[in-house]
Structure 1
Amino acid sequence: MTVVRLETGADLRLGNEQAPAAAVFVNGGTARVVPGTWSATSELLANELAPRFPELAFGELRYRLKTWHALDSCMDDARAALDLLGRPTLLVGFSMGGAVSIGVAAHEDATSVLGLAPWIPDRLPLDGLIGKRLDVLQGAWDRGLPGIPGVSPASSRHGFERARRLGVEGSYTLIPRGLHGAAVRRRSGALVRLPRADAWIEGVGERLERFRAKQQ
């Protein structure tokens, strides 16, 4: 894996760098304005799936600041990642990363968005998805708790249906007993797989397979 500094000052961690198409994992955020971190869920998914898809470059985005109070900044970081890669890209947005991915979906190299428990607030314009595709994977037991970000199925489904009313093609899939993502990180930095992590991995893998097939 190689870490590349983007024009905005954000970082993109890359594997399978020379592949002709890419999947970029876009991180979630917090209410507090804090420096960007690597996403535990994205890291687990990339570690598990990159060896299975050598035809795809895998990028993990670390924002300059990871907060939903600076969405424009996060979107600028995501656009910088797309500009750097310069190839057909599937955006895989986790939690707040769903909003960020949708916000930059109009970019010429963004072919589609895969939202993982995506936050899709009503104020977010969805026009950039027109002519593209939005797929959603959502943990059935996901909820926002005091001090712990989460996205309920009702919330992500509402955003998905907004896109469908614009004519956007896609799918919405619940992961039974799934929580908010596939992994969390210990203070030591080690990843801890959440219950149903394998279902998240396989669900993302199926959609990567579809994306890969379209690039051939």
Structure 2
Amino acid sequence: MVLPATAAPPRAAVLLLHGGREHGLARPGEWNLPAVRMRPFEQAIARATRRTGVVTGWVRYRHRGWNGERRDAARDAEQALTELARLAGPVPVVLVGHSMGGRAALRVAGHPSVRAVVGLAPWCPPEDPVDQLGGRRVVLLHGDEDRTTDPRASVELVRRARQAGAQACALVLPGGDHAMLRRAPAWHRLTRDTVAGLLGIGPLPRVVAHALA
């Protein structure tokens, strides 16, 4: 995990989890494409939370893939949350994950520090558990032209998460694709404002607040 240096302990944190592959044991490079896709989101969130005591950091993966029962990305996310608690104390955390990173964020949301998850075109297999989402707020954003992960799977996961006690919603972005390049400003703006709202440093976007209610 990588966090910026700060003069004072943060009051909250945002951890970003980029995408990956279903299988892959190679180590991702510093500037691999899935990480590059998340840089504008990091920058937008950092600008929105400047001077609020919120820090942003990255979950660093040891492998490119999820790798079946190994669940490598989720294991790395768990380790990052443990390291964050060691460095900054028990600060509340919002996880922002794309694709495989969204799957990992959802899987580790039961960690005591996690308050909310924002999933961007998340990978949501029907067999993944949802009990860990109870008591959390979950916002899934999915483009309707995604050909890699299925927006209907996000809707179904939200349905199960609500039954498990989560405050959850799935929003479909018309014209949005899996790489979040089409309608990129809308992706960045909606994610930024949602994170700020979940942290309590700004209002939730109206569409998100309505969907969560």
TM range (shorter): 0.7 to 0.9
Structure 1 unmatched ranges of 5 or more: 1-11, 144-149, 183-193
Structure-2 residue corresponding to 1:76 = 75
The amino acid across from 1:157 in the alignment is: V
Aligned residues: 187
Q: d(CA) in 2 for partners of 1:31 and 1:197?
A: 24
Q: d(CA) in 1 for partners of 2:132 and 2:78?
A: 13
Q: Is residue 116–residue 181 contact of structure 1 (8 Å, CA) maintained in 2?
A: no
Q: Is residue 102–residue 123 contact of structure 2 (8 Å, CA) maintained in 1?
A: yes
Q: Does 1:21 align with 2:21?
A: no
Structure-2 residue corresponding to 1:50 = 46
Q: 1:112 to 1:95 in 2, by over 3 A?
A: same
Q: Is residue 44–residue 192 contact of structure 2 (8 Å, CA) maintained in 1?
A: no
Structure 2 unmatched ranges of 5 or more: 86-90, 203-213
Q: d(CA) in 1 for partners of 2:5 and 2:116?
A: 20
The amino acid across from 1:14 in the alignment is: L
Structure-1 residue corresponding to 2:187 = 200
**Structure in which a larger fraction of residues adopt helix:** 2
Q: Is residue 78–residue 101 contact of structure 1 (8 Å, CA) maintained in 2?
A: yes
- Tell me the alpha carbon deviations over residues 73-107 of structure 1, each in whole angstroms, 9 at most, x when there is no partner: 22221112112222210011111112211111111
Q: Does 1:113 align with 2:100?
A: no
Q: Is residue 23–residue 90 contact of structure 1 (8 Å, CA) maintained in 2?
A: yes
Structure-2 residue corresponding to 1:141 = 145
Question: Which stretch of structure 1 is more off in the superposition, 122-131 or 27-36?
Answer: 27-36
**Structure in which a larger fraction of residues adopt strand:** 1
Q: Quote the RMSD (CA, aligned, Å).
A: 2.0
Structure-2 residue corresponding to 1:169 = 167
Q: d(CA) in 2 for partners of 1:125 and 1:74?
A: 16
Q: Is residue 133–residue 165 contact of structure 2 (8 Å, CA) maintained in 1?
A: no
Question: Which stretches of structure 1, 4 residues or longer, exceed 6 Å deviation after superposition?
Answer: none
Q: Is residue 44–residue 189 contact of structure 2 (8 Å, CA) maintained in 1?
A: no
Please report the TM-score for the alignment, with normalisation by the length of structure 2: 0.80
Structure-2 residue corresponding to 1:156 = 154
Q: Does 1:89 align with 2:76?
A: no
SS of the residue 1:14 aligns to? coil
The amino acid across from 1:36 in the alignment is: P
SS of the residue 1:123 aligns to? coil
Match runs of 1:3-22 below 5 Å: 12-15=1-4, 17=6, 18-22=9-13
Q: d(CA) in 2 for partners of 1:81 and 1:213?
A: 23
Q: d(CA) in 1 for partners of 2:99 and 2:65?
A: 11
Q: For residue 111 of structure 1, report the CA deviation from its aligned partner.
A: 0.8
Q: 1:16 to 1:126 in 2, by over 3 A?
A: farther
SS of the residue 1:13 aligns to? coil
